[in-house]
Amino acid sequence: MKRLSGPEEGQARPDGLDSGQYNNDQKDGLIVWTIVASGGWLMVPIILCSVIALAIIIERIWALQKRRIRPPHLVAQVWHWEKNGELDQTRIKALREGSALGRILAVGLAYRDRDREVMKEAIEENGRHVVHEMERYLNTLGTIAAITPLLGLLGTVFGMIQVFADLTSKTIGDPGSLAGGISTALITTAAGLLVAIPSLMFYRYFRGRIDEHIVAIEQEAIKLVEVMHGQRDANAVKDEA
């Protein structure tokens, strides 16, 4: 009678995998699931934290790209429009929506006919909002980096309590069973560290990137203020760009 559960031995599967490889993949998946399940219910928040951290990392990598924050030669381009009388509301709107630096420059341009201090204060006020947007979700990522090792440690403590409770309930302890129980209890600590370490690394990396963007944006904004009020040579702005 033919087996209906899978392909015959030596016969290739329709998806291109032979039976041995397919069985090995099934075993690997079962081992991973067994490890996760043996960690207990605290593996659920740890896995949830890992998913959230991964989503934040991908989103911030995309959002903090240099071309999205501070495109090159933007101040020189704005001065070129101003000098040729092409700086209308349409260009200012496009400038505001194009990048974080463009948003700050657009606010400054709205006050270009006012005193230097008024223009500078408007730029600084808007700059605080831009910095807040660049730091979006970073507190969440930092929190995940801080709490996941604690969740893992808590799971290990619960596991050790269970191991010693089982040990004291028996007259003769089984060393193999004890070692297995301890290794199972340590799974949550390992899982928590696996989530916390990359989360902390990317948190520090994003902080550094934001600081770098802030310094560059401040320099570009000062260029705009000074060139608009005749305190900086426009040709020097082009050369620096």
In the predicted model, is pLDDT for residue 207 greater than 90? Answer: yes
Q: Is residue 4 one of the residues assigned to a domain?
A: no
Label residue 5 by pLDDT band (50, 70, 90): very low
Mean pLDDT across the chain? 80
Residue 4: its pLDDT value, please?
46
Can you tell me which residue has the tokens 């309930």?
A: 169
Structural domain range at position 87: 41-232
CA 155/CA 142 separation, integer angstroms: 21
CA 119/CA 41 separation, integer angstroms: 56
CA 140/CA 147 separation, integer angstroms: 11
Q: Is residue 179 one of the residues assigned to a domain?
A: yes
Can you tell me which residue has the tokens 């619960």?
A: 158
Residue 3: its pLDDT value, please?
45
Q: Is residue 190 one of the residues assigned to a domain?
A: yes
Q: Is residue 16 one of the residues assigned to a domain?
A: no
Query: Would you state the structure tokens that stand for residue 108, as one six-digit string?
Result: 């400054």
In the predicted model, is pLDDT for residue 7 greater than 60? Answer: no
Give the SS3 label for residue 160. helix
Residue type, 108: G
Phi, psi of 83 (to 5 degrees): -65, -35
Phi, psi of 207 (to 5 degrees): -60, -45
Q: Is residue 240 one of the residues assigned to a domain?
A: no
Query: Would you state the structure tokens that stand for residue 114, as one six-digit string?
Result: 């006012």
Domains: count for the chain: 1
Helix axes 100-110, 74-83, angle to 10 degrees: 30
What is the tens place of the pLDDT at every residue in 34-84?
666 666 788 889 999 999 999 999 999 999 999 899 998 888 888 888 888
Label residue 157 by pLDDT band (50, 70, 90): confident
Q: Is residue 125 one of the residues assigned to a domain?
A: yes
Give the residue from 96, 105, 59 showing the smallest Cα distance to 78: 105
Residue 175: its pLDDT value, please?
63
Query: Would you state the structure tokens that stand for residue 155, as one six-digit string?
Result: 């799971």
Residue 63: its pLDDT value, please?
93
Residue 27: its pLDDT value, please?
56
Q: Report yes or no: 182 and 225 within 8 Å, Cβ to Cβ.
A: no
Q: Is residue 67 one of the residues assigned to a domain?
A: yes
Region 165-178: mean pLDDT is 64
